[in-house]
Amino acid sequence: MVLVAVTVSALTGCTSVDQMYAAYQKGDESQYVRLLEIASRQDIPYATRKTAVKALGEIGSSQALPVLLGILHEFDRRSSLKEETLISLGRIGDPNAVPPIGHLLDRSLTEPNADLRMTAMPVLSQLGGADAAEILVNALMYYDVLTTRSETTTYRGVFSGDEQEISALRDSMLQPAGGRASGLGGGSGVNDLTGQAPRDIGFFGSNVEFMSDALSDTTPKERDMARESLVGVGLVAVPVIEHFLLNHDTTTTLQQELAAVIGRIREVDIEVGAGEG
């Protein structure tokens, strides 16, 4: 036990990690193994692991891939270590990281983790390839579905005729204390439109605060990021997009968006070709 504690103590600390990286840069390749160990061990302080992950990305060797991909699969509600890991994977540039990043994006949808997704999408653009393009096209389809659903949650005001959010109608049906307005129900505080009060009871009995739509909706920003990242993949994305359009029924908005992406990619290619000439 004492030996383990001494070993962990020797490995931890951002300063010592910086010293290891400096020693590696001077030619001590044994430090690389130590950096890998620090990055992989969950019993080492979070900040120290992040520093080691950053160093591995700056070194840029694909040998770190198993350790870095392992971090992406760890269960931890904190996301900054995974974000640093994604950045390092982008620096290393190994396309074998693309499918695991896609799986990470799938898992991120179960929680409000926009920062993780918005870090991952430019990394997919960096890594490139058809697989990255396919993930980003799927992302745009997903955000298009979310946008379409959001647009259907509006209604015409009874008196003004103006479009209003369903949430505004929901709030108007609630008394300040959380009860139901007169004539709309029995005062249970449960809304007919949403099935829940602004504050509800979780499965384990604790009070759960529901985030407002305005605070939680990052869809437009994420959609912009997915689109720009897809453009960044370049010409290899064009056949992926064309295949998607041929084999999926999509909204007119998404068709136009993907057509514009193809146009931008081809314009960039023409400009690069002209510059080379």
* pLDDT given for residue 157 in this prediction: 59
CB of 242 closer than 8 Å to CB of 250: no
The structure's pTM equals 0.73
Is 275 a residue whose pLDDT tops 70? Answer: no
Is 219 a residue whose pLDDT tops 60? Answer: yes
Work out the angle between the directed axes of helices 98-108 and 130-151 (0-180°, nearest 10): 20
As a 3-state breakdown, the chain gives helix, strand, coil percent values, each rounded to 5, of: 65, 5, 30
pLDDT tens digits, one per residue of 174-210: 444 444 344 434 444 444 434 444 444 444 444 545 4
pLDDT tens digits, one per residue of 65-121: 999 999 999 998 899 999 999 999 999 999 999 999 999 999 998 877 799 999 999
Of 168 and 203, the one with more pLDDT: 168
The three-class DSSP label of residue 182 is: coil
CB of 84 closer than 8 Å to CB of 114: no
DSSP 109: T
* pLDDT given for residue 155 in this prediction: 56
* pLDDT given for residue 260 in this prediction: 97
**Residues 193, 249, 121, 41, CA torsion sign:** positive
What's the alpha-carbon Rg for the chain, to the nearest Å?
A: 24
Mean confidence (pLDDT) of the chain:
80
Where on the phi/psi map is residue 150: left (φ > 0), alpha (ψ -120 to 50), or beta?
alpha
Q: Which amino acid is at 90?
A: G
Nearest to 50 by CA among 94, 80, 95: 80
Nearest to 121 by CA among 190, 222, 257: 222
Domains observed in the chain: 2-150+219-276 (1.25.10.10), 154-215 (no CATH)
* pLDDT given for residue 269 in this prediction: 62
Is 159 a residue whose pLDDT tops 80? Answer: no
Distance CA 31, CA 19 (A): 9
